[in-house]
Structure 1
Amino acid sequence: MRFGQMAAVLLALVPAAAWAQPGPADTQLKAIYDAEWAWRQKELAQVSDGLRSKADDHFPAVAPADWARRRAYWTDVLARIARIPVADLSPEERLNAAVLTESLRAEVANIAFRTYEAPLNSDSYFWGEVKPYSPLETADDYRRYIGRLKDVPRWFDQNIANMRAGLKRGFTPPRVSLAGRDTAIAAFATPGADNPLAEPFRAMPAAIPASEQAALRAAGLAAVDAAAAPAYARLLAFYRDTYLPGTRTTISAAALPDGKAFYESQVREYTTLGLTPAAIHKIGLSEVARIDADMKATIATTGFKGSFADFLAFLRSDPRFYARTPDELLGFSAYVAKRMDGRLKDVFITLPRYRFAIQPVPDAIAPVYTSGRGGLNACLMNTYDLKSRPLYNIVALTLHECVPGHSHQAAMALEAPDRPAFRREAYFSGYGEGWGLYSEWLGTKLGMYRTPYEEFGRETFEMWRAARLVIDTGIHAMGWSRQQAIDYLAGHTALAKLDVEVEVDRYISWPGQALAYKLGEMKMRALRTKAEAELGDRFDQRRFHEALLGLGSVPLPAMEAEMLRWIAAEKAR
């Protein structure tokens, strides 16, 4: 697309009101969020991969007094935003207010529940935030990284103190969900050039002069040996000798201090909806029944004779469905991504220039990591235990994690029209994970699933997300056991046994997060169905997707309100 054409398209997508001069309410809101962002940059060190302008040379302070200060400040910010009449805001500032309000509401709620006393779960942990997984490109990048290595002891000590406080009051992840996570600490606890933290110094950019490379490498290895590795070793001893033996043996969030209210707060944070656990459980059961019928219909097209359980056993045991080497799996995923690249013109108007890599999940975390994870710089595919990674699932996984899912979505956000800095930082799971699951479904419209087995793989992924609605609420609000959850997921999907156990442990230790995917996707598909019905032959999925992704990450109610306005505007256009 030529620049002039792109400009015309973008202009057509922006309401005329957006070009008007800001009114008093807009000015008032902008002053609030600009001040909050400046405060946040000083208060919380930013070290996210791929956003180098935010990278800092230290980690944030995480003592209880630091969290109390943040809670007081954010509570005041929320009160000031609430005093601005929404009707007086322009469309873009209305969205800014919705995003900041919901983001800070969740932050304040988490501090009130002292979630910082459990800075880990089966899937994510603070000690995994030290090593950068995107390349360091400049000498300043390396200096900031060295500063963070030197700060690891202080940061770990504060987190350990918080974990001790959590142990004392019974606020911990369930013990069963943390088994084996110490391996992700042990890999970093030994000094020397083989420590994974030293990896960025092994091959440094040629743009950095050789003499400076040598100095940075020496300083980096010294920081690993003197500061970071010993801190990991102390954390490892604490984790193995004190923390893990002291964690709770219950699995439900309801068993935590003020557990019922805590779980309801987590449901609100991850879904941004006002649904109760009971309502979500009911939605899940309905979706499981619907997808179960789809899966059985797909099985019939293969000619397989036998029960549903027999078909799952066949899929899990037939070698034709499994890669023989890590490169074969990575190559299959790359081919899916490239096939999707050829269809992007049919899905979007604007395409990002930023490219992502497809890489294996690092060995140090692969045994307890999910099947894949997409981000701005790389889309990770797990090549550990290849017999647990069926290729018929890789099509849906690649669409979700890589393109047009998370990696593509992140690039679109990076290159989006200029917005307040906090909007680029905001992430809502219902929107982000909803888009990932919507991307899997979108593949059915583009011929991405070439065989009944690949279509079954997509359906098993959709079933996986629907079953999460049942399992998450079952565990945390209805007294389900871990084995009950494992049996339910294994009995309804073609996921491998390892994946089933990893996933259930993730739901156990991360209450509410698993609900975001299906609820977000259902909201997006419902909006698309409404747009198709109201626009008829004038419906253009490229314009629909442009409007949807053009919002950036927003709460689901805000997404729905804005897309309904878009449908109305399209009807009048």
Structure 2
Amino acid sequence: MTQATDLADEYFAYRQATEPHRLLYSGQLDGLANWEDLRSPAITERQESLRRFAARADAVALDASDDDRILLETVAFTANAAASGLTWRNEQTHVNPAFGVHTRLATFLGRFALSTAAHGDDYLRKLERLPTMLEQLEEEITTSAADGNVALARHLSASADAVEALVAADEQPLASQAAPTALSPADANAWRAEVDRIVSDRVLPALVDYGAALRELSSRGRSDAQAGICHLAGGDELYAELVWASTSLELTPEEIHEIGVDQIERLEAEYVEVAGPLVGATDISDIYAHLRDDGSMKYESGDDIVRDAAAALDRARAAAPGWFSSIPVSDCLANKVPTGPLAFYSAPDPDTGKPANFFFNTADPSAWSTYQLEAVTFHESIPGHHLQIGGFRESTTLHPVQTQFGITAYLEGWGLYTERLADEMGLYSSELSRVGMLSADSMRACRLVVDTGMHALGWSRAEAIDYVERHSPLSSTQIEGEIDRYIGMPGQALSYMIGRLEIDSIRAAAEASDSFEIAAFHDQVLGYGMVPLPTLRRIVAA
């Protein structure tokens, strides 16, 4: 043990204790009964503690070994970034229909693998304490609004609609938790009856009150013309802080905006070259319209989606050893789900032998364009997140801080990098599938323009929607969902393309060496867990 690992251990334990959902999302049931304390004094205390951890890590790093310095830089960055995120507190004071508390409750509660009677007792306590958490939320939102710090009217109204729909659901998701497996049939029935009682008598009335508070506040919400946080007191300074927390780089919003515009121009030239001959058009607007509207490019069956994804994964699995010297032992499988994001990766569990999965939401197969699928597959599985996160989970040397505290610019920058790497590897099955690579890039490049446009340059929601409609093949429904996400999570969407471009730049510098080997480069990028991008550049350059 070193001073660095001791500090990292202390920091990791603090984050787990103050953010109980971290353990729960990873399948650990310690702290199941608890909710985060969302009151302003508790938030301020957490921010101060996180800043102290960062300062201590910076001080220890001055005399640390190379490996310890890397760990300490990850501690310092994630602590400072978490403190910045608490300043925004989007779940408390900035309600967004895509990720408000109602979304967490509907998708989070009822999905735990409870085994013991103690787990059952903790779950009942969690439900009993839910009204208190909602009261804290309501107080924070109301107080913030009185200070002029209020969400968009449309987001408050849509969130109220979602809360009301959750309360009125015929099959109540909040009462769907399976009983602990250790209980006898009679005890399990009694336990489920108690869950039903708490949900009916305490949880649903609290949600009704919370929804009513959102509905009342919607009349005072910001207009769509004031979509960005530049319209809030201190918004410019906060956005600059969130840009750093999302990218780990010292870039101004204006610089990022111009990077996005440049990327869009380059992409449109690629569309004309790759997609133009396929759709019989040379005008970029016509190309986008064809890709957006051609029904023959839509899936009709969820089984077809999984079949094509599995075939792409097979090609990637076979090709990977020529490009990577370290590949996770755990397998990665394609599966479909009826709810959740369009696509997401679930890491393996080496202790139980559970493989990794990447899931496709197939509730509406036509939401998937045939040309999109392969790029998404490579991003989520091989050579993307499975070789990254799956490898982290199997590591016996990385600290949990390096494997469990996400640094989005590193995490998603790698995902985007591998969409282009897959092209180098010859994994795309057709020119049409290569268009999917361009489509994914379009969305991420547009994010640089519209996120900075709204939050730094004062763009309206409509201006942001119009820009993406003119510069990508995304559908109107997809675009509106994306823009509303960016409004509610300032800066977060910048991390994807900025991360990829930085990894591209780091690789270009490494390729200047006569001894460059692609597999060795990838080992360096993936060998130290999640790291800030300046740290990654130093690792590769060493």
- TM-score interval for Structure 1 and Structure 2 normalised by the shorter chain: 0.7 to 0.9
State the Cα distance separating 1:436 from its structure 2 match.
1.4
Q: State yes or no: 1:71 paired with 2:50.
A: no
User: Is 1:163–2:134 an aligned residue pair?
Assistant: no
Cα distance change on mapping 1:552 and 1:211 into 2, 3 Å: farther
Residue equivalent to 2:425: 446
Partner of 1:231: 206
**Which of 221, 231, 239 is equivalent to 1:247?**
221
Note closer, same or farther for the CA distance 1:342–1:143 as it changes in structure 2 (3 Å cut).
Answer: farther
Conserved in 1, the CA contact under 8 Å of 2:486 and 2:492?
Answer: yes
Q: Which residue is equivalent to 2:350?
A: none
1:170–1:248 Cα contact (<8 Å) kept: no
Alignment of 1:164-313 (within 5 A): 164-177=142-155, 180-190=158-168, 194-201=171-178, 210-211=185-186, 213-239=188-214, 241-249=215-223, 250-302=226-278, 304-305=280-281, 307-313=283-289
CA shift in 2, pair 1:69/1:222, >3 Å: same
Identity %: 25
Shift, 1:115, TM fit:
5.7
Partners in 2 of 1:53 and 1:414 — Cα distance? 19
Residue 154 of structure 1: aligned partner: 132
Alignment of 1:358-369 (within 5 A): 358-362=335-339
Check whether the contact 1:440–1:458 (CA below 8 A) recurs between aligned residues.
yes
> Once the 2 structures are TM-superposed, how far is the Cα of residue 535 of structure 1 from its aligned partner?
4.1
Which residue is equivalent to 1:556?
533
| Structure 1 residue 96 corresponds to structure 2 residue 71 | yes
Task: Check whether the contact 1:187–1:195 (CA below 8 A) recurs between aligned residues.
Answer: no
The answer to whether the 8 A contact 2:90-2:489 is kept is no
TM-score with structure 2 setting the length? 0.88
Partners of 2:331 and 2:32 in 1: how far apart?
A: 23
Q: For each residue in 1:237-290, what CA deviation from the matched residue of structure 2 results, as whole angstroms up to 9, or x when unmatched? A: 222x22333321111210011111011011011001110011111211221111
- In structure 1, C-alpha distance between the alignment counterparts of 2:498 and 2:113, rounded to whole Å: 37
1:96 corresponds to which letter in structure 2?
L
Are positions 1:61 and 2:61 aligned together?
no
Q: Where does residue 371 of structure 1 map in the other structure?
A: 342
2:311, 2:369 → 1: CA distance?
15
Aligned to 2:255, the other structure's residue is in SS state helix
Amino acid corresponding to residue 467 of structure 2 in structure 1: Y
CA distance in 2, matches of 1:334, 1:117: 40
Q: Quick check: 94-103 or 446-455, which moved more?
A: 446-455
Match of 1:398 among 368, 372, 377: 377
1:123 and 2:95 are equivalent in the alignment: no
- State the Cα distance separating 1:164 from its structure 2 match: 0.9
- Structure 1: gaps (5+ residues): 1-21, 566-573
Root-mean-square deviation (CA), in Å? Answer: 2.9
User: Conserved in 1, the CA contact under 8 Å of 2:130 and 2:203?
Assistant: yes
Task: Write the distance in 2 (CA, Å) between the matches of 1:236 and 1:38.
Answer: 34
Q: Does the residue aligned with 2:275 lie in a helix, a strand or coil? A: helix
Contact 1:119 1:159 in 2 (8 A): no
- Are residues 123 and 347 of structure 1, via their aligned partners in 2, closer, same or farther at CA, if it must alter by over 3 Å? farther
Match of 1:351 in 2: 328
Q: Distance in 2 between matches of 1:112 and 1:523?
A: 27
Partner Cα distance (2:524, 2:165) in 1: 44
TM-score normalized by the length of structure 1: 0.83
Question: What SS does the corresponding residue of 1:48 show, helix, strand or coil?
Answer: helix
CA shift for structure 1 position 479:
2.4
Query: What's the offset of the Cα at 1:415?
Result: 1.9
Equivalent residue letter for 2:523? E
Structure 2 Cα separation of the partners of residues 109 and 124 of structure 1:
18
CA deviation digits over 1:195-254, x for unaligned, max 9?
A: 1123332xx687765455434433333333333333333322222x22333321111210
CA–CA distance in structure 1, aligned partners of residues 98 and 141 of structure 2: 17
Q: How far apart are the structure 2 equivalents of 1:207 and 1:358?
A: 29
| Number of positions where the alignment pairs a residue of Structure 1 with one of Structure 2 | 527
Which among 445, 460, 466 is matched to residue 445 of structure 2?
466
Mark the runs of 5 or more structure 2 residues left unpaired by the alignment: 348-355
Partners of 1:402 and 1:208 in 2: CA distance: 38
Q: Secondary structure at the match of 1:188?
A: helix
